[in-house]
Amino acid sequence: MSRPPVSVVMPFAGDERAAQAAVDALLALELRVGDELILSDNSGTAAARGGVAVIKATGERSPAHARNVGAAQAHGEWILFLDADCRAPGDLLDAFFAAPVADDVGALAGEVIPLPGGDTLASRYGSARSFLSQQAHLNHPYRPRAVAANLLVRRSAFEQIGGFYEGVRAAEDTDFSWRLQAAGWRLELRRRARVEHRYRGTVGELRRQWRGYAAGRAWLARRYEGFVPEPAVVRAAGRLRHRTRTVIGPGPASPGAGGAGRGAGRGAPAVEASRLERGRYLALDALLSAEELAGLAMSNRPAGRPRVAADVVMVADRFPVRGDPLVEFVRALEGVRVEASARPDSPDAGLQLRIDYREDDGIAARAGAMLAVILRHPLRAAGDVFAHRPGEPRLSALAPAVLRLDRDRRARVHALGGDEVRATARRLARLAGRPLQESPRRR
């Protein structure tokens, strides 16, 4: 059986021992002429060995950044994104092409099953719930999606949509799947191309994971019209009703960033689980449902991003749009930060700029920022509320951007766009007590 060349890109972040294990996992794959193995090192601890190319990806601590950096160095017609906590059979690449691939298929989702033998409650819980199942995610009620733990992407499709969005803590693979389909490509499942995934080992890791997943779903709701994450309490009530009928009920329905809380009947504890074990799973269900509630209010911006004061703040709508001449204008400036409303569907990949997106700000951040703006600038806030026009962003949506602008004390404020952008920029500048300066208009 012939197949096209494949570049395997594994995003990695961990210590030297974990890096050696990741390289071993790549070397276990059976390759053909033209295939290549790339470890995209997000932590700077890996070393090349045995034909595995190690690419440094330290610009941002995120899987999305590591995937994009690895893909930029790949040469294959197809790129397989394979997570470092997955273990793949040797024939994984051939299994993806066991059946013909139609020309309109942009990505093949290989199945993800639990790695057997979990020795902690958290890992056994993850295995029982199996919340990374590709089949379940492709059946998503809003739109099919796929997790990037085992995802083979056509290079031309990847380049067309500009890769994964960076600067987010979760849901980048759901967003990638949805933008891929919006661009006219299809997702297709490959059940035989399956890998085993090692789930989180501690309850603390699970809690952080669930908060991140929920923050990602809230972010998707701000990006995609018609997508409404089902509140955790609603899912919990549904699970409780289901359990009263079936004794053993489903766990939290796919907390993966795109999940809307559907899929009852999936992820129940194994039949052989003891009564005590099932009770522990139910207690974790309740705990993680509370974590989801907290996560839905959180921002989808990763923590720990270094902040450098800007000399110029450009206010934009969707930025950076591929082919927009103003992108090059901004790129040529020094000490610039962009305050944009949202990411475009096809961004200008590889643009090294500091961009803050208002779509990343969660409910809690907006509420806290609005209170801070009212306390710091009461007259300006009152004036903005009265001058607000229908269709313009509310003060609560702009408040986090105002606080960011307050931190850039000496920055000049410019509008990068048309009349709507200028109106938003004028409000931000007025709230922060700055003049709005003239900039080139977007054509």
**Length in residues, the chain:** 443
In three state form, how does the secondary structure of the chain look?
Answer: CCCCCEEEEEEECCCHHHHHHHHHHHHCCCCCCCCEEEEEECCCCCCCECCEEEEECCCCCCHHHHHHHHHHCCCCCEEEEECCCEECCCCHHHHHCCCCCCCCEEEEEEEEEECCCCCCHHHHHHHHHCCCCHHHHHCCCCCCCCCCCEEEEEHHHHHHHCCCCCCCCCCHHHHHHHHHHHCCCEEEEEEEEEEEECCCCCHHHHHHHHHHHHHHHHHHHHHCCCCCCCCHHHHHHHHHHHHHHHCCCCCCCCCCCCCCCCCCCCCCCCCCCCHHHHHHHHHHHHHHHHHHHHHHCCCCCCCCCCCCCCCEEEEEEECCECCCHHHHHHHCCCCEEEEEEECCCCECCCCCCEEEEHHHCCHHHHHHHHHHHHHHCHHHHHHHHHHCCCCCCCHHHHHHHHHHHHHCCCCEEEECCCHHHHHHHHHHHHHCCCCEECCCCCC
Percent of the residues in the chain that have a pLDDT greater than 70, as a whole number: 88
pLDDT at 259 over 70: no
Residue pair 36/76 in contact by the 8 Å Cβ criterion:
yes
What span, in angstroms and rounded, lies between the C-alpha atoms of 125 and 267? 9
Domain ranges of the chain: 6-198, 223-296, 312-437
- pLDDT category at 230 given cuts 50, 70, 90 is confident
Is CATH 3.40.50.2300 correct for 6-198?
no
Q: How many CA atoms lie within 13 A of 440 on its CB side?
A: 10
Cis peptide leading into residue 4 (ω within 30°)? no
pLDDT at 263 over 80: no
Digit-coded pLDDT (tens) for 27-52: 999 999 999 999 999 998 999 999 99
**Residue 41 has what pLDDT?**
95
- pLDDT category at 331 given cuts 50, 70, 90 is confident
In degrees, to the nearest 5, what angle opens at C-alpha 128 toward C-alphas 127 and 129?
Answer: 95
Digit-coded pLDDT (tens) for 414-439: 999 899 999 999 999 999 999 998 76
